[in-house]
Amino acid sequence: MRKLIEILFVFLFVTLVSVHAKLNPYDMVHRDIRKESALSSSDKKKKTSVPERYAQWFADSEMQRFPEAWQLDHGKAPFFGYAQGVGCCAMLQMWKSTGDKRYFDYVEKWADSLIDDKGDIHLYRVETYNIDYVNSGKVLFDLYRETHKDKYKLAMDLLVKQMKNHPRTLEGAYWHKLIYQHQIWLDGLYMASPFLAQYGAEFNKPEWIDEAVKQFTLCHKHTYDGKTGLYHHAWDESKSQRWADPKTGHSPNFWGRSIGWWFMALVDALDYIPQTHQGRADMIIWIQNLAEVLPKYQDKDGLWYQVLDQPMREGNFPEASVTTQFMYAYAKAVNKGYVDKKYKVYAEKAFKGVKEKLLVENADGTLTLTRCCQVGGLGGNPYRDGSFEYYIGEKMRDNDAKATGPFIMGCLELAK
């Protein structure tokens, strides 16, 4: 009888282990998140925070739906695009947070396949002087440090060479692209300035730190609106564009995501700007001023709108990328001590709003982030006039990397 009981016990134990091993990892994460509210305070201390779990859940969701990193942002072919760069920056943050090398390998496979041994980047054309190209260079610092592949340093040098010759306004601000002559866009500050500051810090080239600070200073000078405390999407030095105010050169509206790019650029670049740098204090003041203003436009659900300052205007809507970008920037600004801890509540409200209003759990256990603006710009063909009607008329889609990357990074900052 005793022998029979021992056999039954072993059988039950093996069965339980087998069932547990077959559980979908997404099911495990989701089950744990739903249990969070039932955990005692002592149990919570032993477990990762809810934002941290959502970061992992969403990062794993992205890797499941986009098995290759070039597919992030719905990429159709291998490309070193800026949106893929945003998503891959988030994956590298996941690697640093969890120690799980899957996230690093996901990014390295992408970069390794697109950069040859000479440091040349697939489909990169320096003669277009497109500042967007530079953003993906941010991932190369970690890849170079970990793999010691010279081609990653050569690729960074190539991007810096572009910025040495990049066209500028008369004061020295970078044009957004060669095809957008005389124009500063807020987007461009995120694309290049944190990269240049890090390059200067990593390779003892302080002139590039100075250059990054100069770009922030000129952009603030020409896009800041003193009445609202917000920033215009763009400024045309020539005042010749149809979207430009004939007196100020400003674009007419405050596009949410463009200010998100600016806010993130400030908090990221400061990682590499020395405490003693004369431009650092101004950058922190700009962060503080923006942190003070933005809650005015956050809705009751914690979300921000496509056209930031007109949330109640008919046709306007809560948008994912501006919300996740502000969530990230607020949380990081608090963690770095740039703003008072009281501002963390706005990042927490944004996280709650995204979780409850914009995230959808799919049948396969993955998460989808909805209500992402696909693209926003000025000029071009067909011509984009920067009007309220233009911004609210842009296409929306799910799982856009310009929203998903900041969501992952914002969750990780909230978990610190």
Catalytic residues: 187
Q: Are 329 and 359 in contact (CB under 8 A)?
A: no
Half-sphere exposure of 295 (CA within 13 A, CB side): 13
Residues, the chain: 416
d(Cα 225, Cα 307) in Å, to the nearest integer? 15
- DSSP secondary structure string for all residues of 70-135: GGGGG-SS----HHHHHHHHHHHHHHHHH--HHHHHHHHHHHHHHB-TT--BTT--GGG-BGGGGG
Residues 65 and 213: their CA atoms lie apart, in Å, by 38
Q: Could you tell me the end-to-end alpha-carbon distance of the chain, in angstroms, rounded to an integer?
A: 55
Question: How many Å apart are CA 200 and CA 202, to the nearest integer?
Answer: 6
**At CA 345, angle to CA 266 and CA 220, rounded to 5?**
25
Nearest CA among 388, 105, 390, 86 for reference residue 265: 86
CA dihedral over 248, 249, 250, 251, signed as positive or negative: positive
Phi, psi (degrees; rounded to nearest 5) at 309 = -90, 5
Of 156, 211, 171, nearest to 189 (Cα)?
Answer: 211
H/E stretch holding 372 reads strand 372-373
Torsion of CA 169, 260, 377, 128, to 10 degrees: 50
- Residues 343, 292: Cα–Cα separation, whole Å: 8
In the block, which residue shows the tokens 């004369």?
278
